[in-house]
């Protein structure tokens, strides 16, 4: 791999694409050249990188010649159509969609958990689901220490996980409610302002949603733990940024709060914020735009054997998406 790679961002104008560009700059990723790719309607617009204006180019099947690493965040259909073409052109794709996550030939990577899996890629590496990535930042270190059997979890997911239009929808609806106007909705099936929706992604015949099953399916693959089980309810909340997850985890070995805190203090990419007496616990307001996730509200689970409850919060546009993708690119350079 070229040590000053030619990098492309596919879906550069989206919420995650913009964070990818910022993250490459903030982490001083050794970009030799940056190419920004988007839909035909965005072509010709400019975005800033390292103080210079870069012109967006239209994504075509010939966009990838000479590109070393392509960070994709333009949805599953675009990834399925273009990622194999990019890989065939000699580019390594880091894909943020769900298109390839369950493909046995594609590594699914959270660098703090399974960085070594980057080594066996054949042109495409998958970025995990945002809620799964944020949960694993706290769960995997515990798994290493105590052996996780199963989790029960509820997510509190920010609207920016849906994209820029959802941020606008929440903003608009808050104004409509406050001013006594009729509420209009385009992105979500119900009003999101001053409401919570127990509905993220599409429903499966089981009654779970696709999003809810990602924690079990992706968790098994990332942690190399095929017996891992996760029962999850995913909820959209009227928060702009940062997902939070309430987790009850059951372990093979006995666990104590003191031992769990010690594990968290030594876990990469994770900050322990757990001082309820002084009203300190992780919150989306304070994890937004932060690289590290935060964990707190740590207590023994009173309904499970060898159980621990915790609350983890993290910026889903960063650790859940853009930051994780750039960290994978950093692993490629090693």
Residue 51 neighbours by CB under 8 Å, 6+ apart = none
Burial per residue of 260-286, b for 16 or more beta-carbon CB atoms within 10 angstroms, e otherwise: beebbeebebbbbbbeeeeeebbbbee
d(CA 137, CA 282): 14
Alpha-helix runs per DSSP H in the chain: 15-26, 76-88, 111-114, 130-146, 164-178, 210-223, 257-265, 284-287, 323-333
What does the pLDDT read at residue 263? Answer: 98
- The whole-number average pLDDT for the span 296-311 is 98
pLDDT of residue 194: 98
Check 91, 234, 243, 293 and give the catalytic one. Answer: 243
Residue 78 in this model has a pLDDT that exceeds 90 = yes
The pLDDT confidence band at residue 1, using thresholds 50, 70 and 90, is confident
Provide the pLDDT confidence category of residue 215 given band limits of 50, 70 and 90: very high
Tokens of 217: 């399916």
pLDDT in tens, 244-272: 999 999 999 999 999 999 999 999 999 99
Active site residue 91: no
Active site residue 130: yes
Catalytic entry in 130, 234, 293, 309? 130
- CB within 8 Å of 48: residues ≥ 6 apart: 54
The strand pairing partners of 210, in sequence order, are none
What is the enclosing helix (H) or strand (E) of 46? strand 46-49
Residue with tokens 């001082």: 275
pTM score: 0.96
* CATH numbers and ranges of domains, the chain: 6-127+321-333 (3.40.50.720), 132-316 (3.30.360.10)
pLDDT of 107-126, one tens digit each? 999 999 999 999 999 999 99
Structure tokens at 33: 């050249």
Q: Reduce the DSSP state of residue 47 to 3 states and report it.
A: strand
| Strand-strand pairing, 148-157 and 243-251 | antiparallel
pLDDT band at 11 (very low <50, low <70, confident <90, very high): very high
CB of 243 closer than 8 Å to CB of 131: yes
Q: What is the tens place of the pLDDT at every residue in 22-74?
A: 999 999 999 999 999 999 999 999 999 999 999 999 999 999 999 999 999 99
Q: What are phi and psi of 209, to 5 degrees?
A: -95, 165
User: Helix/strand/coil (H, E, C) string of 199-216?
Assistant: CCCCECCCCCEHHHHHHH
Long-range contacts of 280-286 (CB under 8 A, 24+ apart): 281/311, 282/244, 282/311, 282/312, 282/313, 283/244, 283/313, 284/156, 284/158, 284/239, 284/241, 284/242, 284/243, 284/244, 284/313, 285/242, 286/313
| Cα dihedral across residues 307, 310, 316, 322: positive or negative | negative
């Amino acid at each position: 791999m070229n040590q000053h790679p030619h990098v492309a961002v596919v879906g550069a104008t989206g919420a995650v694409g913009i964070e990818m560009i910022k993250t490459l700059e903030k982490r001083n990723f050794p970009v030799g050249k940056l190419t920004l790719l988007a839909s035909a309607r965005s072509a010709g617009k400019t975005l800033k990188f390292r103080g210079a204006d870069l012109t967006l180019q239209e994504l075509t099947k010939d966009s990838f010649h000479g590109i070393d690493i392509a960070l994709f965040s333009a949805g599953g259909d675009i990834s399925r159509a273009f990622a194999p073409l990019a890989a065939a052109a000699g580019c390594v794709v880091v894909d943020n969609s769900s298109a390839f996550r369950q493909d046995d030939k594609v590594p699914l990577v959270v660098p703090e958990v399974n960085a070594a899996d980057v080594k066996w890629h054949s042109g495409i590496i998958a970025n995990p689901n945002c809620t799964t990535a944020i949960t694993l930042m706290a769960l995997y270190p515990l798994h290493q220490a105590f052996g996780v059997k199963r989790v029960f979890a509820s997510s509190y997911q920010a609207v920016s996980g849906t994209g820029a239009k959802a941020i606008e929808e929440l903003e608009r609806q808050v104004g409509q409610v406050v001013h006594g106007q009729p509420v209009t909705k385009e992105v979500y099936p119900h009003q999101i302002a001053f409401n919570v929706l127990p509905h993220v992604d599409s429903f499966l015949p089981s009654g779970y949603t696709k999003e809810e099953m990602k924690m079990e399916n992706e968790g098994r693959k990332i942690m190399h733990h095929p017996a891992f089980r996760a029962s999850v309810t995913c909820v959209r909340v009227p928060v702009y940024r940062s997902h939070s997850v309430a987790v009850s985890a059951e372990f093979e070995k006995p666990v104590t709060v003191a031992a769990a805190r010690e594990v968290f203090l030594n876990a990469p990419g994770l900050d322990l914020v757990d001082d309820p007496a002084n009203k300190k616990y992780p919150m989306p307001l304070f994890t937004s735009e932060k690289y590290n996730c935060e964990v707190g509200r740590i207590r023994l689970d009173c309904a499970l054997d060898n159980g621990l409850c915790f609350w983890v919060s993290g910026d889903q546009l960063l650790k859940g998406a853009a930051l994780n993708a750039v960290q994978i690119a950093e692993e490629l350079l090693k």
